Amino acid sequence: MTTLLRRAVALLALLALLVAAGCGDDDGGSTEAGDGGGGSAEVGAPVTETASDAQKGGELTVLSAGDVDYLDPGKAYYAFSFMVLYPMHMTLYAFEPGNPEEAAPMLADGDAEVSDDGLTVTVKIKDGVRFSPPVDREVTSADVKYAIERAFTKEVTNGYVNSYFANIKGVDAFKKGDADEISGIETPDDLTIVFNLTRGGPLVGALSMPITAPVPKEYAREFDSKNPSTYGENQVTTGPYMLDSYRPGREIVLTRNPNWDGELDPRPAYLDRIVFSEGNDDATVASRQILEGKGMVSGDFPPPPAVIKSTVQGDTKELIQFNPGSGTRWVSMDTTRPPFDDLNVRKAVLAGFDSNAMRLTRGGELIGDIATHMLYPGVSGFEEAGGMEGFGLDFLSNPSGDEELAAEYLRKAGFESGKYEGPPILMVGENAGVDQAAAQVAQRQFEKLGFKVNLRQVPGDTMYTKFCNVPSSDTQVCPNVGWIRDFADPETVLGPTFNGNNIVPENNVNWPELDDPAINKAMDEASALTDPDERARAWADIDRMITEQAPLIPWLWDKFPTIHSTDVQGVNALWNQGSYDLAYTSLAGAGS
């Protein structure tokens, strides 16, 4: 854990104590946590170790508002989707709950071997790992090769593969259909996979991503022949759990994988059954169910501000955790469509935007800091990019908004009145919980500058898969997008989201569709750097270049709150938006 992240944890605990002691009508009670929640030492501090008395067994219910974006490990790119998928799969490497900085071997049998020139990466995989039924055979390196190759196909359309894996030799020929396989991925034997690269880059870190979970070609090709692939609903797994049933938008059920070998997988996997109950679009009701019930945790939604306040002040304060380094939240504008193809219009929006009002929809200061640029605390390059203060740009200088400065920029854009006078814009946001409120606050921020806003609110998964992640849609503003790094490298924050070369027809996460040749070139050069200090400085410079283009509104550096029932010994995954790591979470007394 970096020094910065340790400081963030300490600051978060202090803030939680202050809120517990000082807000509301009562005195907040004791600031010591109870015995629940895996033994949290301070109110609000994330729990990242399994409780010493954890026992096997039981069923856990995860309440969520929306669905996964995709159930396929080759396509998923939504934090909630990762929460569902990781307990089912053994990726080559994976992050332990309390260490978001360094991935440990999972399917891999030791660290990756990297050649002196950085152009050859060799990974050995464990012997004896088996697929779940109906495949029932041992995993080979060819299964990992196929898993990565399929992510480049039109039937799967992965959102990050071009960011982290495109420098493998033979990728271009494979994508064009000139080759049946990626020549730069070699499998000299059943337990060895070799990646031959055209240049250096973040490949080693990316070997923790879901597309490295093995996929058996002989079984999956039937599903992968369809467009889109239906493998997600029919997948086989190598982790402690397997897919029992999936009813889109309603329920996902995971049960134990009978072929899982706990001697080969470091995760304890206490639970017998995990049920994801979806469609809980009233966050207050869902939060109360969790806090007052048994065997439940929160999934894709944070508790509303009133619930946060009452929980922190009450007798069950140990049931809520605030997770530092949980990412950053943005309001995205489509820079390819009028009026946001005009830089001065975008600067006007940022200048006039009230980020404090947005933060209040989630709970105020306790749940995060106002963002001033794109890299966030805990990510390499953050301090080099100005830290908490940012770059001192005038249009990001007032977190409550500066309407006079916004009017100046609008006049520069040709609106003499200082108000936007063009046609209505389409904004698509979420329809549940605090994200619903945030979308409505964002709407008002645009309207006060003269914009006429047609706000359409839909479930979170629909917002991404049908609107915000599809460049061909008519959506101009997405008020509820956010980002968390894929692994411990600044490229994972800025590369997928702002490099024009990564814009894809669907599952696109470059939401503003920013395609600036100078920024693209700088990213290509920074990606090849291997010295950590040089990488940090280079990506900090890129952060400035992006922020100066005002492609979106960076309004929050998140400390995502999670809640659980009194009998749940919840373990937080700091590497995944502070969600619960379900392969480490347990139920108190489950085995008794």
- Per the CATH hierarchy, to which homologous superfamily does domain 328-558 belong? Dipeptide-binding Protein; Domain 3 (3.10.105.10)
- Which two structure tokens, joined as six digits, stand for 179? 């080759």
Q: Give 530's pLDDT tier (boundaries 50, 70, 90).
A: confident
The domain spans of the chain are 1-32, 328-558
In a 3-state reduction of DSSP, which class is residue 379? coil
pLDDT class for 195, splitting at 50, 70, 90? Answer: very high
Residue 558: strand pairing partners: 368
Distances (CA, A) of 319 to 152, 363, 394, 437: 42, 16, 41, 24
pLDDT of residue 1: 35
Q: How confident is the model at residue 42 (pLDDT cuts 50, 70, 90)?
A: low
Indicate if the pLDDT at residue 24 is higher than 80: no
Q: Quick one: tokens of 224?
A: 């992968």
Q: What is the DSSP letter of 451?
A: -
* Residue 17 pLDDT > 80: no
Q: In what order do the strands lie in the sheet with 241-247?
A: 241-247, 251-256, 273-277, 59-63, 296-298
Please say whether the beta carbons of 201 and 164 come within 8 A: yes
User: Does residue 11 carry a pLDDT above 70?
Assistant: no
Mean pLDDT of 514-524: 97
Q: How far apart are CA 135 and CA 138, in angstroms?
A: 9
Among 420, 416, 417, smallest CA distance to 347 is for: 420
C-alpha closest to that of 245 among 286, 222, 274, 218: 274
Alpha carbon distances (Å) from 376 to 13, 134, 185, 434, 517: 19, 43, 34, 21, 24
The whole-number pLDDT of residue 527 equals: 93
Q: Mean pLDDT over all residues of the chain?
A: 91
Answer yes or no: is pLDDT of 32 > 60.
no
Contact between residue 377 and residue 4 where contact means Cβ atoms under 8 Å apart: yes
CA torsion angle for 548, 472, 84, 204 (degrees, to 10)?
-50
Question: With 80 as the cut, is the pLDDT of residue 10 above it?
Answer: no
CB 101 within 8 A of CB 488: yes
In sequence order, the β-bridge partners of residue 394 are none
Number of helices (H), then strands (E), in the chain: 18, 23
Torsions phi, psi for 241 (to 5 deg)? -125, 160
Beta bridge partners of 429: 457
pLDDT recorded at residue 3: 32
pLDDT band per the 50, 70, 90 thresholds, residue 43: low
Contact 321, 44 (CB under 8 A): yes
pLDDT of residue 456: 98
Distance CA 342, CA 56 (A): 58
Do the beta carbons of residue 357 and residue 6 sit within 8 Å? no
Q: Would the pLDDT of 25 be above 50?
A: no
* Rounded Cα–Cα distance for residues 146 and 257 (Å): 22
- Main-chain phi, psi angles of 56, to 5 degrees: -75, 150
Q: Check residue 41 and give its pLDDT.
A: 44
pLDDT digits (tens, 9 = 90+) for 460-503: 999 999 999 999 999 999 999 999 999 989 999 999 999 999 99
Q: Which residues of 329-342 are buried (b: 16+ CB within 10 A; e: fewer)?
A: bbbbbbbebebbeb
Per-residue H/E/C for 10-44? HHHHHHHHHHHHHCCCCCCCCCECCCCCCCCCECE
Structure tokens at 302: 């944070």
Distances from the Cα of 398 to the Cα of 332, 354, 370, 401, angstroms: 19, 8, 10, 5
Which amino acid, one-letter code, is at 537?
R
Task: Look up tokens 């061909």; give the residue.
Answer: 472
Rounded average pLDDT over 357-370: 94
CA distance 84 to 265: 17
pLDDT tens digits for range 123-181? 999 999 999 999 999 999 999 999 999 999 999 989 899 999 999 999 999 999 999 99
- C-alpha to C-alpha distance for 38 and 573, rounded to whole angstroms: 13
Q: What is the pLDDT of residue 31?
A: 28
The predicted structure's pLDDT at residue 28: 30
Read off the pTM.
0.85
φ and ψ of 509, to 5 deg = -115, 5
Residue 29 confidence (pLDDT) above 80: no
Q: pLDDT, tens digit, for every residue of 370-413?
A: 999 999 999 999 999 999 999 999 999 999 999 999 999 999 99
Q: Average pLDDT in the 209-225 region?
A: 98
Share of the chain above pLDDT 90, in %: 85
Instruction: Work out whether strand 320-323 and strand 328-333 pair parallel, antiparallel, or are unpaired.
Output: unpaired
Token pair in block for residue 289:
């169910």
Whether 48 and 574 have beta carbons less than 8 Å apart is answered as yes
> From CA 331, how far away is CA 440, in angstroms rounded?
12
Where does residue 563 rank: exposed (0-12), middle (13-18), buried (19+ CB within 10 A)? Answer: buried
For residue 65, CA distances in Å to 79, 280, 418, 539 come to 13, 4, 39, 35
- 18: tokens are 């202050």
Is 9 a residue whose pLDDT tops 60? no
Mean pLDDT throughout 326-335?
96
- Answer whether 40's CB lies under 8 Å from 321's CB: yes
| Whole-angstrom distance, CA of residue 421 vs CA of residue 123 | 58
